[in-house]
């Protein structure tokens, strides 16, 4: 996600969470737009929810977070896929391990919103299937 640096007047400049602001700035540079549907595990939400809220709010993107187990099952995947469509997601952000990333990419399909992985995430942790928005 390369591109020119943001001008000083950019709403992301000086964000409380530099990694979150940098990530959202890269999404903007790549031409992606909200709203953002975040799929994450419990540990990811506990660590990153504040960063998501700050970074997406600074540019006026609505977001919703759905917490899932690291390995999602068929009914869960169908439920989340329907929720993504109903929410009108412009981009899907995944903060989870490789199994959940692969499941989200399958549910988005070739016609769905782009799927990007939150940078620097190292742990697929235990999760649950409860919405957390």
CATH of the domain at 104: 3.40.50.2300
Mean local confidence (pLDDT), 34-50: 89
Boundaries of domain holding 58: 18-24+31-117
- For the chain, percent of residues with pLDDT exceeding 90: 24
Residue 6 lies in a domain: no
Backbone angles phi, psi at 119, to 5 degrees: -70, 150
Q: What total number of domains does the chain contain?
A: 1
> Does residue 12 carry a pLDDT above 60?
no
pLDDT for position 16: 47
Question: Please, what's the b/e burial string for 10-33 (b: 16 or more CB within 10 A of its CB; e: otherwise)?
Answer: eebeebebeebbbbbbbbbeeebe
Q: Is the pLDDT of residue 132 over 70?
A: no
Q: What's the whole-model pTM score?
A: 0.75
**112 part of a folded domain:** yes
Flag whether pLDDT at 76 surpasses 50: yes
Give whole-number Cα distances, 91 to 16, 56, 71, 128, in Å.
23, 12, 21, 22
């Amino acid at each position: 996600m390369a591109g020119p640096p943001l001008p000083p007047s950019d709403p992301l400049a000086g964000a409380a969470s530099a990694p979150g602001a940098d990530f959202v700035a890269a999404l903007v540079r790549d031409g992606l737009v909200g709203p953002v549907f975040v799929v994450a595990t419990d540990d990811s939400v506990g660590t990153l929810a504040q960063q998501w809220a700050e970074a997406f709010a600074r540019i006026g993107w609505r977001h919703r977070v759905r917490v899932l187990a690291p390995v999602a099952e068929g009914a869960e995947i169908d439920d989340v896929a329907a929720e993504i469509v109903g929410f009108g997601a412009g981009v899907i952000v995944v903060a989870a391990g490789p199994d959940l990333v692969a499941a989200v990419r399958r549910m988005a399909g070739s016609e769905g919103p782009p799927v990007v992985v939150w940078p620097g995430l190292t742990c697929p942790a235990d999760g649950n299937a409860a919405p957390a928005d």
